[in-house]
């Protein structure tokens, strides 16, 4: 993707605590999107939001 290709865009990602959806959340954030994350696993979601692996 181009640098900051998603800058100024927003994304709602469900199931973001693991798997493919977690990866999508990470990539969208790296590309500049404002992401809103939801998941059933609050601990893993908190790690993702903090930028931890």
Expressed as residue numbers, the domain containing 26 is: 10-49
Is 24 domain-assigned? yes
Q: What is the number of domains present in the chain?
A: 1
Is 4 domain-assigned? no
Is 34 domain-assigned? yes
Q: In whole angstroms, what is the distance from residue 46 CA to residue 37 CA? A: 10
Count of CA atoms in the C-beta half-sphere (13 A) of 53:
0
Is 17 domain-assigned? yes
pTM: 0.82
Q: Is 33 within 8 Å of 9 (Cβ atoms)?
A: yes
With bands split at pLDDT 50, 70 and 90, how would you rate the model's confidence at 1?
very low
Query: Quick one: angle between helices 19-30 and 42-49, nearest 10?
Result: 20
Q: What pLDDT is attached to residue 51?
A: 84
Is 20 domain-assigned? yes
Q: What pLDDT is attached to residue 3?
A: 66
Of residues 46 and 4, more confidently modeled: 46
pLDDT in tens, 9-51: 999 999 999 999 999 999 999 999 999 999 999 999 999 888 8
Q: What pLDDT is attached to residue 4?
A: 79
Is 2 domain-assigned? no
Q: In whole angstroms, what is the distance from residue 52 CA to residue 8 CA? A: 24
């Amino acid at each position: 993707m181009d640098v900051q290709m998603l800058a100024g865009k927003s994304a709602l990602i469900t199931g973001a605590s693991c798997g493919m959806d977690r990866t999508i959340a990470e990539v969208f954030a790296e590309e500049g999107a404002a992401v809103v994350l939801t998941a059933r696993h609050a601990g893993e979601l908190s790690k993702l939001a903090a930028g931890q692996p």
